[in-house]
Amino acid sequence: MVDDEPEIREVVADYLELEGYTAVQASGCEAALVVLAGQPVALLLTDIRMPCCTGVQLAEQAGVLYPALPVLLMTGYALNGFPHQTLHKPFRMTDMMATITGLLAAQPAAR
């Protein structure tokens, strides 16, 4: 779970853990890439707008390293044309979980 806003990271990560997932938090792109390199990750959930880089840039970098890694982008802005699934803030946690469940179900296996 990547977001430069600690409150959002914590709320989303806490909810994911309540739903039975292990949620690893990162405050930006560099930290997220370190996490991805250091442990298996089933899904990359990232905010789009961050000061270090965009979530789209992070998704592109992660896609080079882990082409099968599903990506879910979060944004408070109206955006079109991304090759990844997008959640628009504010979103309901149940909608987030439904999207995550669908993305994970579509994967043959986690890396």
Instruction: Output the CA torsion 12→13→15→21 (10° steps).
Output: 130
- The pLDDT tens digits for 30-82 are 999 999 999 999 999 999 999 989 999 999 999 999 999 999 999 887 666 66
Instruction: Please give the biggest Cα pair distance in the chain.
Output: 34
CATH class given for the domain over 6-81+92-105: alpha beta
pLDDT for 25 equals 97
Give residue limits of the domains in the chain.
6-81+92-105
Tokens 């995550």 found at: 100
What DSSP letter does each residue of the chain carry, written as one string? Answer: -B-S-HHHHHHHHHHHHHTT-----BSSHHHHHHHHHHS--S-EEEES--SSS-HHHHHHHHHHH-TT--EEEEESS-----SSEEEESS--HHHHHHHHHHHHHTSS---
pTM of the entire predicted model: 0.89
